[in-house]
Amino acid sequence: MIMRRTSNNEILIATDLGTQKMTVAVAEMAEDGSLTLLGVGESASAGVRKAEVTDFGHAQAAARMALAEAERRTQAEITEVYMSMSGTHLCSRNESVRGATLEENDHRVTETTLDELTALASNLPLNRDHAILHELLRGYSLDRGVGSPSPLGVHTEQIEAHYHLVTGKRTKLQSAVQCVADQKIRVKGCTFSGYASGLAVLGEESRKRGTVVVDLGAGVTDVVVWRDGAVVHSAVHGVGGDHLTQDLSIGLEIPYARAEKLKKEMGAVVIEEEDKEARITLAREISFDGRTFYKEAMVQILQARMAETLTIIRDDLEEQNLWGAVEAEVVFTGGGARMRGLSRLAGEILPRPVRMGRARDFLGEQSDLERPEFSTVLGTLKYAAETERQEARRTQGWRKLQKSFGKMVSAMRFLG
């Protein structure tokens, strides 16, 4: 996505309409593909629940504020963006399609062969009212089932392509896109939030060895399993940071807004021995008489909900027989990754090593890279960069798109 040029570099814009925050990230892409982060604009979210637009007017206004803040911080004129998508309406599954090479081409795999396989994947039956968000390539199989990551030019009579499909309910995708499109901004492409977060926080080696990326958002939790450089499983669980806040509000009998502030400032999911007798006093405010309670009570509430979330993730991957594919680790990101004690609690519940993830491989301002809640929008920048480079190659006679990073889906697919 080209917004303006600086010394032959391209300006890319990505946006994430989250449940709690709406963020817009701006980066400059050099000719070698390196990204320099210019800045991130953000605003409080509105009209979004569980990563889905529920009040169009409020969501649109919040998106407008985030876009304006990004323009102010970076001096970039925003006319096109890439968007991340999430929500419990998203579904995923692994599919394979099979094709044959032409005898007159000496049974050689050509670009046309691979394009035909992608077209077959694009036309697989979907759930009613769903649209494809991604066809993420997992690999190819040739005659006799021999695997090949890059079969172009290989001689084979039959070739099978394996994809990870991510689909979403068309109307919900349309609502998210329209929040931005109605402001005369072209939504050039969309990507799954969990996939984007993986692009942001994982290096090539982690994607190959088998890694789980868990993005703990405010409304939902995205989970993506990478193996052999590709996505082999993804899920969106309808539990997030808002549930922790709600539990605190009910359990401690305090207003929701005060519970949210308490969670961010003092929240923890593991109690230290020296804190077991510590008390927390919340000052009196308008319409709130104040409250004093043991810190351990707060931790127990947060720990119970977080443990439930981690157990859901563990059991889902166990049911899919995927833990054997995870050779490396579980990487946490998203706003919920800031919770104190998360690594220790997750280490007790999940069967693989745990670490906190940060966005990587950006030049420029580094402070934003340390904020796990920005992983999705920064990963969307990486998705945009790869898509733009592949589109540029296409105009020079290269393939339409490098399948290992997934097919870019124009937002017009959802608006049509």
Q: What is the pLDDT of residues 184-199, one digit of tens each?
A: 899 999 999 999 999 9
Residue 395: pLDDT above 80? no
Residues 198, 280: one domain?
A: no
Q: Is residue 209 part of a domain?
A: no
- Average predicted confidence (pLDDT) for the chain: 90
- CATH code of the domain containing 186: 3.30.420.40
Q: Looking at residue 106, what is its pLDDT?
A: 86
In a domain, 328, yes or no: no
At 134, list the tokens. Answer: 């991604």
Helices 256-266 and 295-319, packing angle to 10 deg: 80
In a domain, 268, yes or no: yes
Judge if 184 and 159 occupy the same domain: no
Is 50 exceeded by the pLDDT of residue 312? yes
Final residue belonging to a domain, choices 300, 321, 348: 300
User: Rounded mean pLDDT of 145-149?
Assistant: 83
* Rounded CA separation 293/279 (Å): 6
Q: The domain spanning residue 151 has which CATH number?
A: 3.30.1490.110
Given a cut of 90, whether residue 2 has pLDDT beyond it is no
| pLDDT-based confidence at residue 182 (cuts at 50, 70, 90) | confident
Q: What is the pTM of this model?
A: 0.91
Burial classification of residue 273, based on how many CB atoms lie within 10 Å of its CB (0-12 exposed, 13-18 middle, 19 or more buried):
exposed
In the 8-state DSSP scheme, what is residue 142? -
Asked whether the predicted pLDDT for residue 69 surpasses 80, the reply is yes
| Residue 324: how many other CB atoms lie within 10 Å | 9
Closest CA to 93 of 169, 167, 165, 162: 165
The count of other CB atoms within 10 Å of the CB of residue 107 is 17
Rounded CA gap, 364 and 185, in Å?
A: 26
Mean pLDDT of the 135-140 span: 93
Lowest mean pLDDT among 32-46, 104-118, 322-336, 391-405: 391-405
| pLDDT at 111 (0 to 100) | 87
Calpha distance 391→389 (Å, rounded): 5
The yes-or-no verdict on residue 139 having pLDDT over 70 is yes
Sign of CA dihedral 96, 102, 105, 107: positive
The residue among 8 and 78 whose pLDDT is bigger is 78
Mean pLDDT for the stretch of residues 371-384: 96
Say if residue 26 is in the same domain as residue 172: yes
The predicted structure's pLDDT at residue 202: 97
Residue 226: which H helix or E strand, with range? strand 221-227
Q: What are 280's strand-pairing partners?
A: 293
Q: Are residues 72 and 32 in the same domain?
A: yes
Q: Are 187 and 17 in contact (CB under 8 A)?
A: no
Q: Is the pLDDT of residue 224 over 90?
A: yes
From residue 114, give the alpha-carbon distance in Å to each of 91, 125, 163: 25, 20, 12
Q: What is the mean pLDDT of residues 391-396?
A: 66
**Lowest-pLDDT range of 125-129, 259-263, 324-328:** 125-129
Share of the chain above pLDDT 70, in %: 92
In a domain, 62, yes or no: yes
The total number of structural domains in the chain stands at 3
Q: Are residues 71 and 134 in the same domain?
A: no
Query: How far is 341 from 273, CA to CA, in rounded Å?
Result: 13
Residue given tokens 């982690």 in the structure block: 206
What pLDDT, on the 0 to 100 scale, is given for residue 86? 97
Reduced to 3 states, what is the DSSP secondary structure of residue 384? helix
Same domain for 48 and 177, yes or no, is yes
273: in domain: yes
Residues 54 and 195 reside in one and the same domain = yes
Nearest-5° Cα angle at 233, 229 to 237? 135
Task: Please tell me which residue, 406 or 252, carries the higher pLDDT value.
Answer: 252
Longest dimension (CA), the chain: 83
CA dist list (Å): 55 to 32, 68, 179, 415: 41, 20, 10, 18
CB 79 within 8 A of CB 126: no
Same domain, 118 and 147: yes
Same domain, 87 and 149: no
> E-assigned strands of 71-185?
80-85, 91-100, 130-141, 147-148, 158-169
Please give the Cα distance from 374 to 27 (Å, whole number).
13
pLDDT range class, residue 127, cuts 50, 70, 90: confident
pLDDT band at 287; cut points 50, 70, 90: confident
d(CA 212, CA 320): 13
194 assigned to some structural domain: yes
Looking at the fold, whether 12 and 86 belong to one and the same domain comes out as yes
Are 73 and 114 in the same domain?
no
Quote the DSSP letter at residue 350.
Answer: S
The band of 379, judged by pLDDT with boundaries at 50, 70 and 90, is: very high
- Among 180-184, 307-311, 375-379, the range scoring the smallest mean pLDDT is 180-184
Q: Are residues 174 and 83 in the same domain?
A: yes
> What mean pLDDT is predicted for residues 390-404?
54
Q: State the Cα–Cα distance between residues 66 and 22, nearest whole angstrom.
A: 6
Q: Which amino acid appears at position 18 of this protein?
A: G
- What number is the average pLDDT over the span 371-389? 94
Q: Report the alpha-carbon angle 375-379-383, nearest 5.
A: 170
Residue matched to tokens 């290096």 = 203
User: Cβ(42)–Cβ(24) under 8 Å?
Assistant: yes
- Give me the half-sphere count of Cα atoms (radius 13 Å) on the Cβ side of residue 337: 26
Rounded to whole angstroms, the Cα distance separating 13 from 81 reads 5
Note whether 213 and 201 are within 8 A (CB): yes
400 pLDDT more than 60: no
Q: What is the model's pLDDT at position 253?
A: 94
Confidence of residue 396 (pLDDT cuts 50, 70, 90): low
pLDDT band at 128; cut points 50, 70, 90: confident
Q: Does pLDDT of 394 surpass 70?
A: no
pLDDT at residue 180 in the model: 92
- Asked if residue 332 is part of any domain, the answer here is no
Q: Angle at the Cα of 216 (from 277 to 137), degrees rounded to 5?
A: 155
Chain centroid to Cα 67, Å, comes to: 19
How far is Cα 232 from Cα 188, in angstroms, rounded to an integer? Answer: 26
Is pLDDT of 144 > 80?
A: no
- Which range in 5-19, 128-142, 293-307, 390-404 is most confidently predicted, on average pLDDT? 293-307
Give the domain range for residue 143.
92-166
- Cα angle vertex 131, ends 314, 61, to 5°? 85
In a domain, 334, yes or no: no
